[in-house]
Structures are given as structure tokens and as C-alpha cells.
Amino acid sequence: MKLKKGDKVLIIAGKDKGKSGKIAKVIPSADKIVVEGVNVRKKHSRPKKAGQKGQTVQMAMPMNVSNAKLICGKCEKATRVGYKFIEGSKKVRVCKKCGGEI
């Protein structure tokens, strides 16, 4: 998976198309990511103790990684990700548009 936790991404498909946010969680086994403030659903929680009220909590749900595109830190554009080897064995991610390291 080419996206990591903390990366800024642009949503390119779905109901939140055009929004951007930071990746909060990556689920590589299912090819899914959780982006802050995107794909938000309401979850109803039961009261934990007697006398307490139930709540409605808004949660960001996982979405497929193919619906997001990485935003490069240097050129500030949504781009694809490539890899490059530096100093023999160090593998780094690079922006396909500007060629800079991510």
C-alpha cells in the first residue's frame, strides 16, 4: 500500500468527492483507509450505566484506498506515488508530477 498514516489525501470518488483530509488509520489487509472528516456516519451508542442517556456519535468510516489520491507536500497537487532507491538500498516515495520526495 502506497499511502501511510498521516498523509494528506484528496477524495476522487464517492459522496465526498473533492474533499481532502489526513489519514487517521490504514487497514492494509482490507485495502481501506480512514480519513478524518470524510465518509462520516452516525453511530448510536447505548447508555453504559443506569440513569445515563444514549448518544449519537459521528464516526469516520473506512473507505477503499482507490478512492483517494495523495497530495504532494512540495507541489501541493494530487498525484500518483512512485518509488526510488537512494544510496543503494534506501527506498523512498516520490511524486510522479514534480519528482520530489514525499
Tens digits of per-residue pLDDT, 3-51? 999 999 999 999 999 999 999 999 999 999 999 999 999 999 999 999 9
Helix, strand and coil in the chain, % to nearest 5: 5, 50, 45
pTM: 0.88
Q: What angle do CA 22, 32, 95 make, to 5 degrees?
A: 55
8 A C-beta contact, residue 69 and residue 77: no
Task: Tell me the CB-side half-sphere exposure of residue 16, using CA atoms within 13 A.
Answer: 22
- pLDDT > 90? residue 92: yes
Q: Are 2 and 9 in contact (CB under 8 A)?
A: no
